[in-house]
Amino acid sequence: MRAVKMPFMTKPLFFLLCLVVTGECRRHGHRVRRWTGTVESQNHGTSLTKKPPDVTKSRKTKTEHLLQVDDHDFTMRPAFGGPAIPVGVDVQVESLDSISEVDMDFTMTLYLRHYWKDERLSFRSSTNKSMTFDGRLVKKIWVPDVFFVHSKRSFIHDTTTDNIMLRVFPDGHVLYSLRVTVTAACNMDFSRFPLDTQTCTLELESYAYTDEDLMLYWKSGDESLSIDDRISLSQFLIQKFHTTSRLAFYSSTGWYNRLYINFTLRRHIFFFLLQTYFPATLMVMLSWVSFWIDRRAVPARVSLGITTVLTMSTIITGVNASMPRVSYIKAVDIYLWVSFVFVFLSVLEYAAVNYLSTVHDRRERKMRERARSQSLPCTCGISQTRTMTMLDGTYSEADTNSLAGYTEDPVVPEEEQEELHEVPEKPEHMVVHLSVSSESTTTKKKKTIRALNIIQNTHAIDKYSRMIFPGSYIFFNLIYWSVYC
């Protein structure tokens, strides 16, 4: 009986087990289709197809494994404790933004690239291709600590992201590039301004590593520096760019390799000719107009002289306002101050003319008064008494002969007339004071008058000024432009 019951109970159990397994298989197949979104199909007995793996999801893990960033201490330089690591540098100048004479600095935007080898970053590659990264990896590895000597302001561009590029080659060579704008000091010499030529320098140096740890050098010599052909400045002409290098010593830290980017600029002169030299020259020429104005026109000549002096003062002030307060004389100062002196002398010239005119008129007035007071009577038998006064030493014998038309009767004293008991009729008399000097005295006085004529004759001063002032100013311009050009 027991043998008959066992097969009868096994069949229902086996059937229930099959139902459970079938339900689980169906449920598992539905879950796979929901997550993968694929439909499994079987055509002509072929196997089911599978989606290829997403390589990008494992790239990060693969890169970190290749570079082995987490396996090394990058706080130390490559080959720490060994010889100095060579770091090559090249620069591409993108723009020379501005040059300030007042602040004595310049602003430059450039691409700064470093080349070195770090075996800790080497990796295996069948294609020997490099890998490129952005600034996020730079924070995890060692990079040279190059800075700009004598820089006032500098920054790395960060729009739209940090302008940093890192390229690693399979053998461990690294290219590190960044885009920087730097404002650095430039010691300028303005002794020949605005006819000057300035040489400015941008200096690169390692901040922490001496020449025993890090050796900076130009990667390709002078060809390490490249310039954009579109670079231009409004006031300067870029003449030359070149590179140099030498050691710099600090007493407390030691010797460092320093790289120099030198560029020479020549100032455009045409702007200053229009704004400074031509106006100053015109003001000097305008001051000469007063030499042709009548000396009695006091308001015209005084106002013209004061106007030119004030205009020259304004030009000098405007030029110095845009320049640093240097303690030496500039070329433009020489020209402007000499022009100012010429304008000022034209004002003094009229002051001298006016003063000498007043003195001459006063002297003539005194001489007329003295001549009237010293006149003596002389009776020449003229029907009416007349008085003529002639200045001492100003009339010759020809002037006295002009009195020949008058009758000359002998003058008889009254005492003799009484003795002769003659009472003549008293004729009309002309009282004339004649002072006829000898030829030698007259010649000497004429020479003296001619010698003093240039000083006393104001017209002569103006006449000579019309020639002396322009001639002197032209001579000064010839010397000035021959020296500074």
- Give the model confidence (pLDDT) of 78-96 as tens digits: 888 889 999 999 999 999 9
The answer to whether the beta carbons of residues 134 and 161 sit under 8 Å apart is: yes
Considering the domain architecture, whether residues 304 and 228 belong to the same structural domain is answered as no
Considering the domain architecture, whether residues 293 and 335 belong to the same structural domain is answered as yes
Of the residues 240, 267, 294, which one is the last residue of a structural domain? Answer: 267
Bridge partners of 183, per DSSP, are: 107, 153
CATH of the domain at 306: 1.20.58.390
The 3-state secondary structure of 90-138, one letter per residue: EEEEEEEEEEECCCCEEEEEEEEEEEEECHHHCCCCCCCCCEEECHHHH
pLDDT of residue 216 exceeding 80, the answer is: yes
Considering the domain architecture, whether residues 163 and 231 belong to the same structural domain is answered as yes
The answer to whether the beta carbons of residues 82 and 129 sit under 8 Å apart is: no
- Give the model confidence (pLDDT) of 369-406 as tens digits: 888 887 655 544 444 444 444 444 444 444 444 444 44
Nearest in space to 267 (alpha carbons), one of 173, 189, 181: 189
Spatial distance between the Cα atoms of 279 and 335, rounded to a whole number of angstroms: 12
pLDDT at 104: 93
Residues 6+ apart with CB under 8 A from 125: 170
Of the residues 229, 247, 267, which one is the last residue of a structural domain? Answer: 267
Give the structural domain span for 342: 272-368+471-484
Considering the domain architecture, whether residues 344 and 248 belong to the same structural domain is answered as no
Considering the domain architecture, whether residues 259 and 318 belong to the same structural domain is answered as no
Both tokens of 422, joined, read 């003659």
Considering the domain architecture, whether residues 141 and 215 belong to the same structural domain is answered as yes
CATH of the domain at 163: 2.70.170.10
pLDDT of residue 334 exceeding 70, the answer is: yes
Of the residues 267, 289, 312, which one is the last residue of a structural domain? Answer: 267
**Rounded alpha-carbon distances, angstroms, from residue 13 to 16, 24, 378:** 5, 17, 187
Residue 304 amino acid letter: L
Which ranges of 322-426 does DSSP label H, i.e. alpha helix? 331-373, 397-400, 414-419
Spatial distance between the Cα atoms of 225 and 172, rounded to a whole number of angstroms: 25
User: Exposed (0-12), middle (13-18) or buried (19+): which is 266, by Cβ within 10 Å?
Assistant: middle
Beta-carbon count within 10 A of 468 CB: 13
- Give the model confidence (pLDDT) of 241-295 as tens digits: 999 999 999 999 999 999 999 999 999 999 999 999 999 999 999 999 999 988 8
pLDDT at 362: 86
Share of the chain above pLDDT 90, in %: 47
DSSP symbol at 226? E
Nearest in space to 289 (alpha carbons), one of 355, 337, 357, 349: 349
Considering the domain architecture, whether residues 293 and 259 belong to the same structural domain is answered as no
Considering the domain architecture, whether residues 213 and 260 belong to the same structural domain is answered as yes
- Give the model confidence (pLDDT) of 443-462 as tens digits: 655 555 555 554 445 568 88
Overall number of domains in the chain = 2
Q: Is the peptide bond preceding residue 160 cis, with omega within 30 degrees of 0?
A: yes
Residue 205 amino acid letter: E
Pairs from 451-454 (Cβ < 8 Å, separation ≥ 24): none
Considering the domain architecture, whether residues 190 and 223 belong to the same structural domain is answered as yes
Both tokens of 305, joined, read 């002289």
Spatial distance between the Cα atoms of 181 and 154, rounded to a whole number of angstroms: 6
Pairs from 151-155 (Cβ < 8 Å, separation ≥ 24): 151/182, 151/183, 151/184, 151/185, 152/105, 152/183, 152/184, 152/185, 153/182, 153/183, 154/180, 154/181, 154/182, 154/183, 155/180, 155/181
Considering the domain architecture, whether residues 225 and 188 belong to the same structural domain is answered as yes
Spatial distance between the Cα atoms of 419 and 51, rounded to a whole number of angstroms: 174
Considering the domain architecture, whether residues 223 and 307 belong to the same structural domain is answered as no
Both tokens of 241, joined, read 């760019």
Confidence of residue 23 (pLDDT cuts 50, 70, 90): low
